[in-house]
């Protein structure tokens, strides 16, 4: 059997044909043009699915299902996208729309949940029954896999680790709360922390590691690059940032104790520069650290493997791991 995955993003709609194991055989994408009505976007999604099927010369009888990874809060049971921040979708019946345009059974879930399922089936967590995938990007996305399936609570809105608070009365979050982990551990937060540090330390070289020497163009790499070049302020920014990441990961571990914690998002490309201190800080913080690892095994913390493809892979696998 073959599986079709759709990653519905704010910028692009990406569609892939996958095999049983979750390997991508063919991938195509078109711009989302997110200001459009949901019906137009759904139309493009159906058209793109039919295109990849034709291009890969598939018989629809050999296709198990289509899966959609979507931003926002889906009602997976009924195939409806209840709400999303970025797109004009409100209680939109995606399942019926895709079924009509493609004739295929359609599943939907949240994009962070799909990324977690992707890593679980064919990525860094392959072979484990339980994992939590944390994506450090514009926000902090998280998906929880228990017994090889997505855990999403009774209303499909669960596992929003990015919106658990680590600092009571802290930085205002756009979810309405103050002090959400996302406000300290996302790439967006790291950029904010970098800019603040550059302003407070005018003699640091942070600005030299920004595009065009413009601090407003600081990226999530700026502080890491400055630190590697020996800049003390850059190192401080990284150290503090990793502490914030560790604080939330230790909470993830104390709450879920999964076999594996997978770190995704652009920042995970820092590799061991990020992961080595992170593992140390987390191991000092987790509950039961007084007990030896022999008696109480600990979750490992690893880098995501699938990069931007995690969403497509997980979406495609929704129908298989329902």
Binding site for its own copies (CB under 8 A): 73, 82-83, 91, 129-130, 146, 151-161, 163-168, 170, 175-177, 179, 184, 244, 247, 250-251, 254-259, 284-285, 287-291, 295-299
What is the closest distance, in whole angstroms, from the C-beta atom of residue 73 to its own copies in the complex?
A: 5
Measured in residues, the chain has a length of 322
Residue pair 318/67 in contact by the 8 Å Cβ criterion:
yes
The strand pairing partners of 181, in sequence order, are none
Q: Smaller CB distance to its own copies: residue 67 or 299?
A: 299
Q: Does residue 85 sit in helix, strand or coil?
A: coil
Q: Which is nearer to its own copies, 13 or 144 (CB)?
A: 144
Residue 115: phi and psi, rounded to 5, are -60, -40
Q: Which is nearer to its own copies, 64 or 178 (CB)?
A: 178
- Positive/negative CA dihedral, 123, 124, 130, 135: negative
Q: Pairing relation of β-strands 131-136 and 106-110?
A: unpaired
Q: Minimal distance in Å, beta carbon 124 to its own copies?
A: 16
Q: How far is the CB of 250 from its own copies (least distance, A)?
A: 7
Going by the DSSP 8-state scheme, the letter that residue 66 receives in this structure is: E
Residue 103 or 179: the one with the smaller Cβ distance to its own copies is 179
Instruction: Output the smallest distance, CB 284 to its own copies, in A.
Output: 7
At its nearest, how many Å lie between its own copies and the CB of residue 133?
14
Nearer to its own copies, 52 or 124 (CB): 124
Helix (H/G/I), strand (E/B), else coil: 154: coil
How many Å apart are CA 277 and CA 242, to the nearest integer?
A: 7
């Amino acid at each position: 059997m073959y599986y079709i995955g759709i990653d519905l993003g704010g910028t692009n709609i990406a569609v892939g044909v996958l095999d049983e194991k979750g390997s991508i055989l063919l991938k195509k994408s078109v711009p989302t043009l997110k200001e459009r009505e949901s019906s137009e976007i759904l139309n493009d999604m159906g058209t793109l699915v039919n295109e990849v099927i034709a291009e890969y010369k598939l018989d629809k009888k050999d296709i198990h299902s289509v899966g959609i990874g979507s931003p926002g809060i889906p009602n997976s049971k009924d195939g409806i996208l209840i709400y999303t921040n970025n797109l004009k979708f409100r209680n939109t019946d995606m399942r019926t729309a895709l079924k009509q345009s493609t004739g295929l059974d359609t599943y939907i879930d949240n994009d962070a949940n799909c990324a977690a399922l992707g890593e679980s089936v064919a990525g860094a967590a392959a072979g484990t029954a339980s994992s939590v995938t944390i994506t450090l990007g514009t926000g902090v996305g998280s998906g929880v896999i228990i017994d090889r399936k997505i855990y999403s609570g009774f209303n499909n809105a669960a596992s929003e680790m990015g919106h658990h608070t680590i600092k009571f009365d802290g930085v205002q979050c756009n979810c309405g709360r103050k002090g959400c982990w996302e406000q300290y551990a996302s790439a967006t937060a790291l950029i904010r922390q970098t800019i603040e540090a550059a302003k407070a330390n005018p003699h640091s070289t942070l600005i030299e590691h920004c595009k065009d020497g413009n601090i407003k163009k600081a990226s999530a790499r700026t502080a890491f690059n400055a630190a590697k070049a020996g800049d003390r302020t850059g190192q401080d920014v990284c150290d503090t940032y990793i502490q914030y990441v560790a604080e939330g990961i230790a909470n993830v571990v104390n709450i879920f104790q999964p076999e594996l914690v997978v770190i995704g998002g652009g920042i995970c490309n820092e590799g061991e520069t990020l992961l080595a201190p992170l593992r140390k800080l987390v191991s000092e913080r987790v509950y039961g650290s007084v007990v030896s690892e022999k008696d109480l095994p600990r979750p490992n913390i690893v880098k995501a493997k699938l990069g931007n493809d995690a969403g497509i892979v997980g979406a495609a696998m929704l129908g298989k791991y329902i």
